[in-house]
Structure 1
């Protein structure tokens, strides 16, 4: 599990001038559409319901049709850093995309189902997402002009019907957060700026480590780095690795989310609990504290084995020992056990 985090290397060779703090509506729209498709784990169900209720039937259907482009790995247009002189001009960005060759833009849209741009792989994994996505993927490959036109019309309609107002609401906070990051960047350097983004981001030697269940290493010394605060991306820290572009980090611009235990720490707790004998010991002390001898006697277990189980549970922070006269009683740390699932989900969603 030591290789699980994402490593951002090459920071010492990266000039501050090649680190860009980005506030761009198209990047934010990618996060907003992701939330619209999966609002539950973002705790934005009411927001998503209100947005859908205000949509025209045509846009609602388009939003469902293109939802796959913002699930898990976003299509390239939503994580593009370069190519626009004014990233805050959403209609202008859409018009500039219309001038991109249709087949090139179609390939960018296929990224969620074919990271390497292989049409055969795109067709295969498109089919796994149902008939509507199958038809759209086939159109992007076989009729890119028509399919790309539909996508750009979808963006324009989304801006007109609801996202323009949403952007006006969130943009001031994103700008304020970007200024804070710029200040840290200029005063303390790249590593300090990155570690200030989120509790999941930390400095390790000359690199920055992002606590995600995704083993990869990115050297940004030559390609550059971009940072985009977002009002929608929580609880994720999204790392967009687009060839030929700066590595893009999208992070929550809001309040501190609190720390998430490391993958090794969570794995340790899961490993300790994945044993029938230790679960039996946990059950014995779930309702009241007991000594190792009492557990062994009541549950018909070997006393030395019970002691070993209790030591393992205590070292993982799942059990606490408390002295009662000449006896040592053990009690289950209920909140710690409950947090195992929550911490695991939060780590996976990073």
Structure 2
């Protein structure tokens, strides 16, 4: 399971397609986006459990938030509660692709450049489950899609129905509402946060750009996240996520946009007709590299077997040989070896030799992290 980005169309071709000036068509650019970071701020305020590291910031903003603005925040929270809408990466939808603006005002101008069809499709993505990675008619032109949008919105409550009805009937009015709301959020809390965050994001941007120019794409993507890999010969970037889809840069290029508020989310914009975007959390050296989706599946499967659960009860307390475990559990040594092999393959055991004996012990640190690793994996 992964999201794959075909980069074979990037220029220049060859072993280092990313060594190019940021912003050129068909090239890779690393650029911060104030609009994307505002989207992540709204997401964190709506789903603080996704971002335990932001608890104090969320508490502070919520405590001083104007009640009227807080109510407005609930009117369209489906644009940022589930994750956050592609509307916050509006630069990718501008025909031909564009770089994010230097400030929120420039970003909102890019948002204004999206067609009504683009705006409506992106706004209804999470609530109405419209096709994302393939072409097709939209609800503004297709009556069946319009009916489906309203039907799906009804299942989510009256607030969603009102928003969907307004969006389908008067897209310019909803666009104006969202623009004003984002400007009010900027004045209320985001401008202050951005004044701090932009320095960290700019530093990360310089680092990744330098890696692109001097070390190549593989080094730069390795610094973005261990979950991102590249096969230069195949012209393919692979992002380890719970999903299975593919997109291509064509001649529009690829944007790498860092986020400070977004951890643990590592998101790939792969909407049909939009420039692909890799929206990644800036690195934290103190955090261990997250396991892959395959590793998570192996570990959870390994621990789910009742015999291996009983083995773990002993192995968590002390180190044991295969023979000792066989005697304690009344199982043959080959059967114990098989179960230990499953646990070891999943990365849950440590082993050490004592003379001619091999001692096995549960890696309790890895097991203790499994819950947070699983949560990070499904939110990635």
Residue 10 of structure 1: how far off its partner (Å): 2.2
User: CA 1:11/1:281 → structure 2, altered by over 3 Å: closer, same or farther?
Assistant: same
The separation in 1 between residues aligned to 2:9 and 2:116, in whole angstroms, is 39
1:46 corresponds to 2:56: yes
Is the deviation greater in 51-60 or in 185-194? Answer: 185-194
User: CA 1:20/1:93 → structure 2, altered by over 3 Å: closer, same or farther?
Assistant: same
The separation in 2 between residues aligned to 1:162 and 1:38, in whole angstroms, is 17
Q: What is the number of equivalent residue pairs in this alignment?
A: 347
Secondary structure of the residue that 1:80 maps to in structure 2? helix
The separation in 2 between residues aligned to 1:97 and 1:340, in whole angstroms, is 40
1:196 corresponds to 2:206: no
1:57 corresponds to 2:51: no
Residue 225 of structure 1: how far off its partner (Å): 0.8
Conserved? CA contact 1:31–1:232, under 8 Å: yes
Deviation string, structure 1 residues 187-216 (Cα, Å, up to 9, x no partner):
344444333322222233432222222222
User: CA 1:334/1:323 → structure 2, altered by over 3 Å: closer, same or farther?
Assistant: same
Conserved? CA contact 1:230–1:251, under 8 Å: yes
Secondary structure of the residue that 2:272 maps to in structure 1? coil
What TM-score, normalized by structure 2, do the two folds share?
0.80
Deviation string, structure 1 residues 144-195 (Cα, Å, up to 9, x no partner):
3443332222112112211122222222222232222222223344444333
User: CA 1:308/1:132 → structure 2, altered by over 3 Å: closer, same or farther?
Assistant: same
The separation in 2 between residues aligned to 1:332 and 1:224, in whole angstroms, is 46
Residue number in structure 1 paired with 2:308: 278
Conserved? CA contact 2:43–2:83, under 8 Å: no
Deviation string, structure 1 residues 239-271 (Cα, Å, up to 9, x no partner):
112333321111123434431222222222222
The separation in 1 between residues aligned to 2:293 and 2:232, in whole angstroms, is 19
Q: Unaligned stretches of 5+ in structure 1? A: none
Residue 29 of structure 1: how far off its partner (Å): 0.9
Secondary structure of the residue that 2:361 maps to in structure 1? strand
Residue number in structure 2 paired with 1:340: 370
Secondary structure of the residue that 2:126 maps to in structure 1? coil
Alignment map for 1:208-223 (pairs within 5 Å): 208-223=237-252
1:78 corresponds to 2:88: yes
After superposition, the CA RMSD in angstroms is: 2.9
1:267 corresponds to 2:297: yes
Residue number in structure 1 paired with 2:16: none
Candidates 150, 160, 165, aligned match of 2:177:
150
Q: Unaligned stretches of 5+ in structure 2? A: 13-19, 132-137, 139-144
Conserved? CA contact 2:224–2:283, under 8 Å: no
Candidates 182, 186, 193, aligned match of 1:166:
193
What TM-score, normalized by structure 1, do the two folds share?
0.86
The separation in 2 between residues aligned to 1:328 and 1:99, in whole angstroms, is 66
The separation in 2 between residues aligned to 1:342 and 1:68, in whole angstroms, is 25
Residue 103 of structure 1: how far off its partner (Å): 6.2
Alignment map for 1:82-231 (pairs within 5 Å): 83=94, 87-94=101-108, 97=111, 105-113=119-127, 114-116=129-131, 117=138, 118-206=145-233, 207-231=236-260
User: CA 1:326/1:90 → structure 2, altered by over 3 Å: closer, same or farther?
Assistant: closer
